[in-house]
A and B are shown apart, each in its own frame.
Chain A
Amino acid sequence: MLKVRGLRKIYGNYHALDGLDMDIEDGALYGFVGPNGAGKTTTIKIISGLLLPDQGSVEIDGVDALAHPVGLKEKIGYVPDYFGVYDNLKVSEYMDFFAACYGMEGLKARRRSQMLLDQVGLGDKEDFFVDGLSRGMKQRLCLARALLHDPVLLVMDEPSAGLDPRTRLEFRETLRELNAQGMTILLSSHLLTDLAELCTDVGIVDAGKMLLAGSMEEIAEKIHVSKPIIISIYKNMPAAMALLKEHPLVRSISVKNQEIMVQFVGSERQESGLLTELIQVGVQIRGFVREPGNLEAVFMQLTNHEEERVMLSYEHDQESGL
């Protein structure tokens, strides 16, 4: 659906985007996460045809979006991180105006707009003035506006910012419904928790670069592998150390009292194999567990600018000589 390659954008001396790559499959609900200033909005503006990159390419459905901006706009529905509403304009007139901007007029536009307003729960608010709506309603109106021309990709820049928890939940539900109907959605946020339960895919961006991207399953697997296995030895520590030092999937070993922390890059099956091997060489084990990993911790690690890597509590204790 969307293929972004080597996107670069420089404002003066500031590199907003520094060779960003991104792939979104058909029907995906893609969470685009990064801290403030990571380059999310710039990327979204380029994808939506509102900004030209200094370098790079954007393909939507196999079409070079930068060379065919009008074609691009037919395929994309853009929801920014603000509402963009007019004073003195009713909801139905607001929808009519944007329908006309997409070249839709008359009965067809009216029906489409009515259908979308019903879908986002604003069917009974047609005669309300737009500036009198609540934040949640304005956001839903913006969503309906972006869907007027039946786009293939819905691009949303921090849509739930400033919404109360209940409205946020309702908004998520609407997005889930849209995604279930086959709509591909790109959703940005600086809060990973916002997207973790909602998205099928996620991309973590920082300093204009994609740090981590893939489906939620792939990322969960990577997080799992990244966490160390903590083996609590009851007896025969030397045999355990000898086996682990020779094991091809072990990257590093740390020892603290009767516990060994192992960076093991194998799958769950290989993990159980390691346990069997340890038992076979006569090691008596009272604990064998991977430290639980979570997406938020990885996000914090990836986007940490203060240190190259965040030490785990275990390493910290070890360095402190505890």
Chain B
Amino acid sequence: MNMIKNPVYKREMRVSARSFRLALVLLVFNGILALVALLNMYSMLAQIRVTAEIQYSSFLDLYLFMAVLEFVMLVFIMPAITAGSISGERERQTLDLMLSTKMAPIQIILGKLAASLSTMVLLIISSFPILALVFVYGGVTIKDIVMLLACYGAAALFVGSLGVCCSALFRKSTLSTVVAYGIMGGVVIGTYGINQLALFFNRMPGGGYFTAASAGTGDGSSGGFLYLLLMNPTVTFVMTMLRLSGREAASGNITQWFGNHGENFVSQNWVGCSVVIQIVMAVILIRVAVWAVSRGRRPGKNHYRGSAAWQETKKNKNRLKNRHDGISLGFCHVCF
């Protein structure tokens, strides 16, 4: 599907490029990043002036700090941008107008999502000069940046799809935004909390129920609940950052996070698996959004054609034809 030709994408990009809101978001986003980065750098330089000691790890810390800040802002901004995409069209009463044209619901959903992702990409690209501050003293390779971007991309796609899905399911933008943030909170904090709870219960005397129930592999661990974290973009991001910072050996092994879990293919390729899971979930969410938009509108599997109702209609067609003397019947009813 050629997104450049998608009318919704084109219109969204045109309108957002014209709006003051995007300029403001760019200003605030980069302003916060620049402020934090420059303050950090000045404090390091001030320390160097005083102690004459250069801590090269500080530059890596700066990079990590900025990457974390950027990720958190992405996760927070994306639902705000996408959660009003479809419900906003409903509120403006333009969704029906689009659906009365030859546009398919999937084109509308993908156009909206692509426009939101483009805004995110614009935010990320606009922050490159600030991220490049860490190259002043070296320490981060281009490969590191690409890995980070891949992680951002998967998270933005997942969170964006969640926002669009909520927007398609709920009529009001306010409600869809609240639900999108709620689900995001559930995924980020909930999956972590469940693992903590499972670990807590399994470490209690006589524990082990959760381990057995969830087919875990180790004693005193959160068991199979660990794999819920595959959905959590924050965990994927943290794993990526630990890998980039070379601290993987110390705390980068997910199998050690909630008790002792056995090593397997998933734990060895956690970031890759998580990215795949997030993309799969994004696809499912997009499908749900398409279903929500076309609900009651287009013939699907449950279309009445071929159903009992349809057959009854067909059977009664002749009768209905004969009944089409409604003019005189209706009239007589009134006049006599």
Residues of A within 8 A of B (CB): 5-6, 19, 21, 23, 45, 48-57, 66-67, 69-70, 73-74, 76, 78, 80, 82-89, 93, 97-98, 100-103, 105, 145, 149, 204, 210-214, 218-219, 222, 226, 251-252, 263, 298, 301-302, 309
Contacts and interface: CB of A to CB of B under 8 A. Distances in A.
Interface of B: 5, 7, 10-11, 14-15, 18-19, 92-94, 96-103, 296-299, 303-305, 309-310, 312-313, 316-317, 320-321, 323-324, 326-328, 330-331, 333-336
11 contacts: A49-B99, A50-B99, A55-B310, A67-B299, A69-B298, A84-B92, A85-B94, A86-B11, A86-B15, A97-B11, A210-B330
Contacts of A210: 326, 330
Contact of A51 (B297, B304, B328): B297
B12 to A, nearest CB: 10
A53 to B, nearest CB: 7
Nearest to A101: B101
A55 B334 contact: no
The 5 A-B residue pairs with the shortest CB-CB distance, nearest first, are A100-B7, A101-B101, A78-B100, A226-B335, A211-B330
Contacts of A103: 102
Given A5-B320, A78-B100, A88-B15, A52 B304 contact: yes
A89 B327 CA distance: 47
Nearest to A214: B327
A187 to B, nearest CB: 16
B334 A102 contact: no
A168 B248 CA distance: 72
A85 B102 contact: no
B10 A66 contact: no
A93 B94 CA distance: 15
A210 B10 CA distance: 43
Interface of B is mostly: helix
Given A85-B92, A222-B327, A6 B313 contact: yes
Nearest to B317: A5
Contact of B326 (A52, A145, A211): A211
B326 A84 contact: no
A110 to B, nearest CB: 15
A298 B334 contact: yes
Nearest to A53: B304
A301 B330 CA distance: 11
B299 A98 contact: no
Contacts of B310: 55
A48 B330 contact: no
Nearest to A142: B97
Contact of A55 (B5, B18, B97, B309): B309
B17 to A, nearest CB: 10
B152 to A, nearest CB: 28
A4 B102 CA distance: 22
A67 B93 contact: no
Contacts of A85: 92, 94
B11 A48 contact: no
A251 B15 contact: no
Nearest to A94: B11
A73 B19 contact: no
A56 B310 CA distance: 7
A2 to B, nearest CB: 14
Given A98-B97, A302-B330, 18 more contacts: A6-B316, A49-B99, A51-B297, A55-B310, A56-B313, A67-B305, A69-B299, A78-B97, A86-B11, A88-B18, A101-B7, A101-B101, A145-B97, A149-B101, A210-B330, A222-B328, A222-B331, A309-B333
Nearest to B18: A88
Nearest to A93: B14
B142 to A, nearest CB: 38
Contacts of A76: 100
A290 to B, nearest CB: 13
A101 B98 contact: yes
Contacts of A57: 313, 317
B104 to A, nearest CB: 8
B100 A50 contact: yes
Contacts of B309: 54-55
Nearest to B104: A70
Nearest to B21: A88
Nearest to A309: B334
A21 B320 contact: yes
Nearest to A52: B296
A158 B335 CA distance: 29
A308 to B, nearest CB: 8
The residue in A6, A51, A222 that gathers the most chain B C-beta atoms within 10 A of its C-beta is: A6
B297 A50 contact: yes
Contacts of B321: 5
Nearest to A148: B101
B334 A301 contact: yes
Contacts of B93: 80, 82-84
Nearest to B323: A21
A51 B99 CA distance: 10
Contacts of B326: 21, 210-213
Contacts of A5: 313, 317, 320-321
A93 B96 CA distance: 19
Contacts of B92: 84-86
Contacts of B305: 66-67
Contacts of A45: 96
B103 A101 contact: yes
A50 B304 contact: no
Contacts of A50: 96, 99-100, 297
A86 B94 contact: yes
Contacts of B18: 88
Contacts of B312: 55
Nearest to B14: A93
Nearest to B103: A101
Contacts of B98: 101
Given A101-B98, A226-B334, A19 B303 contact: no
Contacts of B327: 212-214, 218-219, 222
